[in-house]
Amino acid sequence: MTHKLAFIGFGVVGQGLAEILHNKRQSLQEREGFEAKVVAISDFKKGSLYHPDGLDLEAVLDAVQKTGSLDSYPKTEGLITGWDSLETIRQSNADTVVEVSYTDVKTGQPAIDHCRAAFQSGKNVVMTNKGPVALAYRELSALANEHHVSWGFEGTVMSGTPALRMPKLALAGNDITEIRGILNGTTNFMLMRMDEGESYESALKEAQKLGYAEADPTSDVEGLDARYKIVILAQHVMGMPLSVEEVECSGISNMTPALIEEARMEGKRWKLIASATKEGGRVKAKVAAEKVPLDDPLASISGALNAITYETDLLGPVTLSGAGAGKTETGFSLLIDLLAIAKAREAVRS
């Protein structure tokens, strides 16, 4: 069965998935029994394309990489242009929406509305935007269930590293009582450089130069990025209701060489830790810089890597580490979700 996809947004992450689908088309078909075609793309800057029989991904990628726009895509019979995101979701013949639009993390929009429209139209959604999942998890989960469609968002926490799927599948049957993680690669890189003798300002400039930190690094260095991610983990993995506002949050902007040295003298290392702990039927969550003992697996995580430890009742602590960002890595997170939807659909049919 061929899966028909509509991309809402076609920036770095969307192009990352498109390249994977194009480059690995044959191996995905042979090894996973997965075949997909992109029937629609709608991007508020690059334009929009829809063809019910599918778009030529090579031509799409060529157009975007050469001109930054979809306008130069060959005009073939049956091609429709000019649809906005909601028209694309509601009127295309896609069965799954790849939601990778530019979204305001504070409001979750327009991605929340895109999800609502897709679910109400009987379409699955895979996405990497963390705002909608953190802010509207219960509403959107219920809406997807009501319309018997799937909602995948693996890439919202640790990119393609399966921080959501692994505990749900491989740790099934455990009670996960605590989650602790390094969920922001920018701050982990900066703390590593400070541990090597750099100042905060120098470490930040280097992170920006390497593309780890934005021109405005507030979301990273003040812990806001990790705050949304721990909310997703608490709700999806632990099954505990938690709002963003309930998470105590501080970052690393007050980190000094003296504090770095203090931790070193104690045989510890500073890490920005996001944690969620079950306490008396509730969950308590926070994001803060912590002095982590050197024998803790999280202490050895260097560079821009992410890592997460799940405290379980049957297996004890289990730690997962891997990439937390990147074009291909995040594109892969969407592929994980698409493959899971395809396998679930196949299981229902058989």
Binding-site residues for L-homoserine, in ranges, read 214
Point out the annotated binding site. Answer: 9-14, 130, 214
Which of 337, 344, 342 has its CA nearest to residue 162? 337
Catalytic residue among 4, 46, 229, 278: 229
Task: Report the binding-site residues for NADPH.
Answer: 130
Do 8 and 42 touch, CB atoms closer than 8 A? yes
CA dist., res. 325 & res. 124, Å (int): 24
* 343 a catalytic residue: no
The one-letter code for the residue type at 134 is: A
Angle at 83 between CA 74 and CA 118, to 5 degrees: 120
Residue 228, CA distances (Å) to 105, 217, 254 in order? 9, 16, 21
Q: Which residues contact 33 (CB under 8 A, 6 or more apart)?
A: 342, 346
Active site residues: 229
